Structure 1
Amino acid sequence: MVGTLTTIDILGRLKTLRKEMALRQESLAERLGVDRSTYVRKERGAIPITTDEWLKLAKALERDPSYFFLCSPKPGSAEAGLAGRERLLLKLYRSLRVNEQDDMISAVYLKLRSIRRKAVQDTLRMLREA
């Protein structure tokens, strides 16, 4: 069954992602060409966010616009089976900008390429190809 996202869910994703990326409301307001108070009202749902603004927000937050609107499992549910360190590494990776994620993957690859276990080598190969 396909779930439905409410406006509150969609705006919650926006706010959560902004906070995870440690971006201030002023920064996103500037990207939209509005003042901070207008942005705050948009993030709270008091003023609608236009399609053009959603596209600008997606670009600023380095996400596909569909990220905000498509149903997916509740945040965190996919990580429920992860150990503490795994969860922290995933959180760290997701908090990085795209170029920083690439740098992290490169660093991991360089550090681990000398490990000869098949599972490690297969995973590194997939990372390189992704």
Structure 2
Amino acid sequence: MQLHDKIKRIRKDKKLSQEDLAHELGLDQSQYSRREKGEIPFVPNEILKISKVLKTSVAFLFGEETTNKNVSIDEKLIQQYELRIKEKEEMITLLKSKIKL
């Protein structure tokens, strides 16, 4: 995904208008629109401002950083699952020892 496409997607996800970002960059909406369409490239200073407004990193905008929220949730679920299995095995061992008595 190109930079301008990613900025557009994030802007829409955050329910911001082109006018909102244009204002932050000191541009007219039409000037901003041309950048978001990829007709004019964003300059570095604009990219920095956009990352702050969109509350994301420049690395993420350039595709060098991904959000792995699902991975961390999956890891937590796996840890909880393994803990429950260990607790179950300990309970089985305890109950077996009580049956023998």
| Partner of residue 48, structure 1 | 41
* Distance (Å, rounded) in 1 between the aligned partners of 2:14 and 2:38: 21
Return the letter of the residue paired with 1:32.
Answer: L
SS in 2 for 1:49: coil
Q: Which runs of 4+ in 1 moved over 3 A?
A: none
Ranges in structure 1 where 5+ consecutive residues have no aligned partner: 1-7, 80-118, 120-130
Return the letter of the residue paired with 2:22.
Answer: A
Return the letter of the residue paired with 2:3.
Answer: I
Return the letter of the residue paired with 2:17.
Answer: R
SS in 2 for 1:67: helix
| Partner of residue 17, structure 1 | 10
| Partner of residue 65, structure 1 | 58
Following superposition, the deviation at residue 48 of structure 1 comes to: 1.4
The equivalences for 1:1-130 within 5 A come to: 9-71=2-64, 119=80
TM-score in terms of structure 2 length: 0.62
Following superposition, the deviation at residue 59 of structure 1 comes to: 0.4
* Distance (Å, rounded) in 2 between the aligned partners of 1:52 and 1:21: 21
Conserved? CA contact 2:59–2:65, under 8 Å: no
TM-score in terms of structure 1 length: 0.49
Count of residue pairs brought into register by the alignment: 71
* Distance (Å, rounded) in 1 between the aligned partners of 2:6 and 2:38: 12
| 1:98-120 per-position Cα deviation (integer Å, ceiling 9, x unaligned) | xxxxxxxxxxxxxxxxxxxxx4x
| 1:13-37 per-position Cα deviation (integer Å, ceiling 9, x unaligned) | 1010000000000000000000000
* Distance (Å, rounded) in 2 between the aligned partners of 1:58 and 1:72: 13
* Distance (Å, rounded) in 2 between the aligned partners of 1:53 and 1:65: 11
Ranges in structure 2 where 5+ consecutive residues have no aligned partner: 71-79, 81-101
* Distance (Å, rounded) in 2 between the aligned partners of 1:72 and 1:31: 24
